[in-house]
A and B are shown apart, each in its own frame.
Chain A
């Protein structure tokens, strides 16, 4: 394979990986602050993309505005999801929380399919679709938007968690909810913010990805799954590792398609990420510190 082709695959890998990274960040934020696996994480990405299209296409709003509105709407929905869930949290069952997020994710999918459309939609490119040429590979400007946005998001998050009071409060919750409560941090408010933040992040990913890959009512499932793998690589604790984990998943996926030999074919590209998940979980369960183990 020539350099240009290989680079092309690599670019695709990093592009998709950036989205997985954003989804993975969302999982990590929610899990570290609340201990909940938010099954609907992938749907926020889908919503971001679909809403930005709907607002543009049906309501004629300019793209800049639709982007902002979509992200805000998704964040609000994330908060709503949390609010629906706390009622249940008072009674028994940690199971009920997961099931609620599962229910929410399929509900959102179904509604998107019924109310909007079952077909994939493509919002307009941010800055046009003229490909740039780079060492034999063609890079569309939207790709730069995607990768750039993910990087910026990562940096902003890092600054947020390290230097702002709110960010530090969220990190405190992630370390110990009890201790955080003792110093006056309201765990429920933090959880609310975590959900909103994660949903917003997902939507950002969706908004910036949709013009490039299109988005449809069922985009959320695979994105959620792959983002989950990214978060798993980071142990659901480390944002930076989740970020790079996402990139890794994207690259491995692209390489699987590139190799196109034996079991490494495009039809199995999705499966690669999932098998990676199982492998990661096995590795993690073997190398745990005693504090992390279920017993």
Chain B
């Protein structure tokens, strides 16, 4: 029996699921029946990139970051300010924003991952609140609480991403690219080091793996993903205000990551979709029950399925398949 990431390609169920998902993704914006979900799916793709970073972070560093929306916001605002106020090419702005977010993450992560306790959660909570305050207060730069509008859309040569459908495909390309890129990383030497850290920190050190260096790397990667997502967000909506970058948004991302599963790449997509749909379709009708529900989900999932919901389901499914295979095989 093969398992591990390589198994994805041998696993016929996984290939089927992936193909079905791709088919659905392509059909939605083109079908007159389903195209009302285009916006929802666009935002799922954007959010999934942020969740992906957090899933990897939680899985491989054993710590929680409540600050993903800070990097998301940094990406958004830098892209918005540079492209709108200073007329910088949006792609360049996106790159600059990602570099800035990565640098921030490095500066924060470097001291924190060398410490033994789980300080990342609080430190990143602090980061989110500081960044949110800055977005709100630096009015001349950010437009204050009312935000900025008129942000240019993205384009490559003559192809302009200014319709729901084009933006949908652009954003999903980025999202899928991030997922595949992450997969490649996990299959590599770096990924083995990360999985080793996840398996046993003491043993990982004994084979020469510098724990804090890798943890910082993953933190920086998660910040870069979030920042790019933020840039895409802003070029899709063509408007930005501080509202989506506060504490509540951070908690929602954590909930998505928890539902998705620690260290799980495709689980991140699953978790994002589930929580987004839940919050849009269900919670919106019941007023501000969302934090109660998120809190409950976080507690319940972590108590009963500490590796994350999707991962737990997938493992159960695999065990079931294994049992079936053993029952059918004569030996």
Q: Check A-B contact in the complex, CB < 8 A.
A: yes
A92 close to B121 (CB less than 8 A) = no
Q: CA of A113 to CA of B287 in the docked complex: distance in angstroms?
A: 11
Contact A295 B130, CB 8 Å, known A114-B288, A285-B111: no
Stretch at the interface among A62-70, A179-187, A239-247, A268-276: A268-276
> What are the interface flags for A264-295 relative to B under an 8 Å C-beta threshold, 1 for contact and 0 otherwise?
00011011011101100110111010001111
State which of A92, A113, A285 has its C-beta within 8 Å of the C-beta of B306.
Answer: A92
Of all chain A residues, the one with the shortest Cβ separation from B136 is A267
* Interface size range of chain B in the complex: 35 or more
| B318 beta carbon closer than 8 Å to chain A | no
Of all chain A residues, the one with the shortest Cβ separation from B64 is A98
**In chain B between 83 and 122, which residues have their CB closer than 8 angstroms to a CB of chain A?**
108, 110-119, 121-122
| B292 beta carbon closer than 8 Å to chain A | yes
Interface centre among A109, A268, A277 (most CB of B within 10 A): A277
| B297 beta carbon closer than 8 Å to chain A | yes
How many residues in A have their beta carbons less than 8 Å from beta carbons of B? Answer: 56
A108 close to B295 (CB less than 8 A) = yes
B126 close to A225 (CB less than 8 A) = yes
| A45 beta carbon closer than 8 Å to chain B | no
B251 close to A106 (CB less than 8 A) = yes
State which of A84, A95, A268, A274 has its C-beta within 8 Å of the C-beta of B127.
Answer: A274
Stretch at the interface among A9-17, A31-39, A165-173: A31-39
| B258 beta carbon closer than 8 Å to chain A | yes
Contact A295 B299, CB 8 Å, known A114-B292, A288-B114: no
State which of B64, B114, B116, B126 has its C-beta within 8 Å of the C-beta of A95.
Answer: B64
- Minimum C-beta distance from B203 to chain A (A): 13
Q: CA of A10 to CA of B119 in the docked complex: distance in angstroms?
A: 30
> What are the interface flags for B281-299 relative to A under an 8 Å C-beta threshold, 1 for contact and 0 otherwise?
0000000111111111111
**Complex interface: chain B residues within 8 A of A104 (CB):** 295, 299
A102 close to B111 (CB less than 8 A) = no
Q: CA of A285 to CA of B211 in the docked complex: distance in angstroms?
A: 15
| B129 beta carbon closer than 8 Å to chain A | yes
| A236 beta carbon closer than 8 Å to chain B | yes
Q: CA of A293 to CA of B113 in the docked complex: distance in angstroms?
A: 9
A282 close to B111 (CB less than 8 A) = yes
| A94 beta carbon closer than 8 Å to chain B | yes
A88 close to B130 (CB less than 8 A) = no
Q: CA of A228 to CA of B123 in the docked complex: distance in angstroms?
A: 9
| B146 beta carbon closer than 8 Å to chain A | no
Q: CA of A106 to CA of B295 in the docked complex: distance in angstroms?
A: 5
| A221 beta carbon closer than 8 Å to chain B | yes
B130 close to A271 (CB less than 8 A) = yes
| B254 beta carbon closer than 8 Å to chain A | yes
Q: CA of A282 to CA of B130 in the docked complex: distance in angstroms?
A: 17
Interface centre among B123, B126, B254, B294 (most CB of A within 10 A): B126
A110 close to B289 (CB less than 8 A) = yes
**Complex interface: chain A residues within 8 A of B176 (CB):** none
Of all chain A residues, the one with the shortest Cβ separation from B290 is A110
5 contacts between A and B (CB under 8 A): A93-B62, A106-B294, A110-B291, A274-B129, A281-B111
Instruction: Please list the 5 inter-chain residue pairs (A to B) with the smallest Cβ-Cβ separation, ordered nearest first.
Output: A103-B298, A107-B295, A110-B292, A274-B126, A110-B291
Binding site for A on B (CB under 8 A): 58, 62-64, 66, 108, 110-119, 121-123, 125-127, 129-130, 133-134, 137, 205, 210-212, 247, 251, 254, 258, 262, 288-299, 302-303, 306-307
Apart from A110-B295, A294-B211, what 11 extra A-B contacts exist at CB < 8 Å?
A88-B306, A96-B303, A96-B306, A98-B63, A111-B292, A113-B291, A268-B133, A270-B133, A277-B126, A278-B123, A285-B114
Binding site for B on A (CB under 8 A): 31, 35-37, 39, 84-85, 87-88, 91-100, 102-111, 113-114, 221-222, 225, 228, 232, 236, 267-268, 270-271, 273-275, 277-278, 281-282, 284-286, 288, 292-295
